[in-house]
A and B are shown apart, each in its own frame.
Chain A
């Protein structure tokens, strides 16, 4: 179903395992304060290379 190089789902379905997640990961820096600012668009070599 995918073009060469791409893969999507795992070959076999597996059960949800979020109960095993590390609590630190689950809360994911929720206590950290953000910096409110507009951000420039990333300037990497690939940026918009393949506009069609």
Chain B
């Protein structure tokens, strides 16, 4: 799908004129059990858009990395875990599903896995979902659970890594080859687009809910999924500049240096969007935490370095893409002060394929979160009451 399907043509033109596109991303937002974390992050993201204009870096959309609704993606919880937290978010929200959006329990009243996700993110036309009563947000019109988003300066290939709690699967004998075929064809198309003389440059991002790499002791890396993606990239002769994932409930950033040509690819895990219980890291001998900055390998001969991790703050990613670079900032949200602070910032040079850590981000980018006290009068109480009838 094209981003121009959703924002107005004036907005797309303003992004083109600005020479850059900015967007938010994070996964694992569903605020089950302890909604305060999700609401704090959502409020900070809403405040980050504020009254900005695209020329000044207004985020154009929120790309959700899955696990929108816990624990089974039920329609009845879209009100509490999606429409209400993002009621003040002045932009489109697109998403790939996470395992919790697709997993089923015995007797779950749905016709098929992901039915509520499709109702809210893949409708034929924008409409009001019954769960959005009292809210302005309309449904999204994504073409499916996996899709390519074409936007100015940017192409995001989003994949559905299915419903297992442990590792991600994009294609196996149970799910069939359709998604892998999609990936191969869209990477080939992206490579052809890049090779066209005079074509507008773009960054390529691949997104999956399950991360290829993680240090979370409660989650797992997905080497088989990564091998399939690697093979598709090798065949198409194009590689992502960044790979975004969630599932593990923390922030992690790795740099993978490919032995074949020396290119560097950033692998970002941003599963700190609001689900309770941030994930502790898997410790080594004598209980030592992972040490960022020490080069290791990915088990396939490529150097892999854990650059940064943070498992103490909920937050979100802010990505800025222009024709030659990506700036990715991980912002943590202080739930007491509602202020955002930088957890990490790095750049990707799209020409040289080099990932570089950036210093502290500019103070002007740090904004306060929700200025409305949670203890002030409850404006959406009426809507909530309607829902329960």
Contacts and interface: CB of A to CB of B under 8 A. Distances in A.
B87 A36 contact: no
A33 to B, nearest CB: 6
A51 B375 CA distance: 46
B1 A50 contact: yes
B201 interface: no
B6 A3 contact: yes
A36 B162 contact: no
Interface string B82-93: 001011111111
B143 A9 contact: no
Nearest to A34: B103
B381 interface: yes
Interface residues of A, number: 48
A1 B145 contact: no
Nearest to B175: A38
Contacts of B374: 15-19
Given A28-B32, A39-B175, A41-B144, A8 B84 contact: no
B202 interface: no
Q: Is the interface of A mostly helix, strand, loop or mixed?
A: loop
Interface in B43-82: 43, 46, 69-72, 74, 76-77, 79-81
Interface string A17-30: 11111100111111
A25 B7 CA distance: 32
Nearest to A9: B90
B234 interface: no
B7 A2 contact: yes
Contacts of B169: 38
Given A16-B39, A39-B175, A28 B144 contact: no
Contact of B71 (A7, A14, A19, A29): A29
Contacts of B93: 8
A48 B182 contact: yes
A27 B72 CA distance: 12
B150 A29 contact: no
Contacts of B122: 44, 46-47
B376 A6 contact: no
B7 A28 contact: no
Interface string B1-28: 1101111111100000000000000000
A26 B370 contact: no
B43 to A, nearest CB: 7
A7 B136 contact: yes
B165 interface: yes
A43 B115 CA distance: 10
Given A3-B6, A27-B33, A29-B74, A38 B164 contact: yes
B16 to A, nearest CB: 15
A21 B31 CA distance: 11
A6 B84 contact: no
A26 B118 CA distance: 22
B144 A9 contact: no
B384 interface: yes
A42 to B, nearest CB: 5
Interface of B: 1-2, 4-11, 30-33, 35-36, 39, 43, 46, 69-72, 74, 76-77, 79-81, 84, 86-93, 102-106, 112-115, 118, 122-127, 135-138, 143-148, 150, 160, 162-165, 169, 172, 174-176, 178-179, 182, 186, 370, 372-381, 384, 388
Interface of A: 1-3, 5-22, 25-30, 32-52
Given A15-B375, A18-B36, 8 more contacts: A8-B90, A9-B91, A15-B370, A27-B32, A35-B104, A36-B103, A39-B163, A47-B144
17 contacts: A3-B4, A5-B126, A6-B92, A7-B138, A8-B92, A16-B39, A27-B33, A28-B77, A29-B74, A34-B104, A38-B162, A38-B174, A40-B112, A41-B175, A47-B144, A51-B186, A52-B150
Shortest beta-carbon contacts, A-B, top 4: A14-B379, A39-B113, A18-B35, A38-B174
